[in-house]
Amino acid sequence: MPGYVSQDRNQINMNRLREESGVQRVGELVVVGPPGAAKQPFLSALCPRVEIANQDIILGSLPIHEELMVYCYGISYGQGFAWDLVGRKMLGYIVIFDWFDDQSFAGSKEIIEFTSSYFNAPFIIAADIGDRVLPVPECAIRPHIGLSAMTKFMFCRSNKPDSVRKVVVTLLDLLIEKLE
C-alpha cells in the first residue's frame, strides 16, 4: 500500500481500505515513539496483520468483527505524518520508548510535549523493558501510574502480546471513562 504521508493520499487510502475490507466502523490508534523505540514489535504483538508502509510508518489492522476494525499506526516522531487528520479521530495514542535508554526517554518527552499540547485525546506512556527484569517491584506500579485524568504510565514488554494488549486495554478504559 502506498505510504500514508500526505493528507489527501491518506484519506484516499483510508477509504480504499474500508472498501476493500468492507468494514462499516473503524477505530484508529497511533503508536508513536522516538527512533529505535519498538513500534513494530508492539504492533506485531497486537495486530494479526501488519504492513510496513514505508520506513517510518507501519500499519496494523485488528479486526474485531465483520463490522468493526481497528487500525493502528506505528510512527516515528518527526517524520511526515498527517497528525492533523488522524489526530481528530484517533481513539487515542500510545507513546512508547525504551525505559533503559536516556535518549529514547528524552525523545518521548518531546513527543509528549507536542501531542499533549495539540490533542486532548487520552494516551498511555508505555515504557518498554523488552525481556529485561522489571526495574521496580510489580506491586508498586500495578496496574499503572496515573499522571492525569487522561494519561497513564505503564511498563510494557513490546514483544509480549499480553503485555501489549494490557496497554491498549488501559487506553480503551480511559476512552470509555471519557464517554461516560
Q: Are 67 and 25 contacting, i.e. CB atoms less than 8 angstroms apart?
A: yes
Q: Are 32 and 75 contacting, i.e. CB atoms less than 8 angstroms apart?
A: yes
Count the site residues for other proteins by CB under 8 A: 66
Least distance (Å) between residue 157 CB and other proteins? 16
Residue tagged 511498563 (cell numbers): 155
Per CB under 8 A, which region of 14-22, 32-40, 86-94 contacts other proteins? 86-94
Could you tell me the CA-to-CA distances from 49 to 5, 6, 60, 70, 163 in Å, in that order? Answer: 20, 23, 6, 11, 18
Taking CB under 8 A as the criterion, the residue among 4, 42, 73, 81 binding other proteins is 81
Least distance (Å) between residue 41 CB and other proteins? 17
Q: Please report whether residue 153 would count as binding other proteins according to CB under 8 A.
A: yes
If residue 41 lies in a helix (H) or strand (E), which one and from where to where?
A: helix 39-46
- Packed helices 39-46 and 161-179: angle between N→C axes, nearest 10 degrees: 80
Q: Please report whether residue 36 would count as binding other proteins according to CB under 8 A.
A: no
> Which residues here bind other proteins, judged by CB under 8 A?
7, 25-27, 62, 64-65, 68, 70, 77-81, 83-85, 87-91, 105, 108-110, 112-114, 116-121, 125, 135-137, 139-151, 153, 161, 165, 168-170, 172-173, 175-180
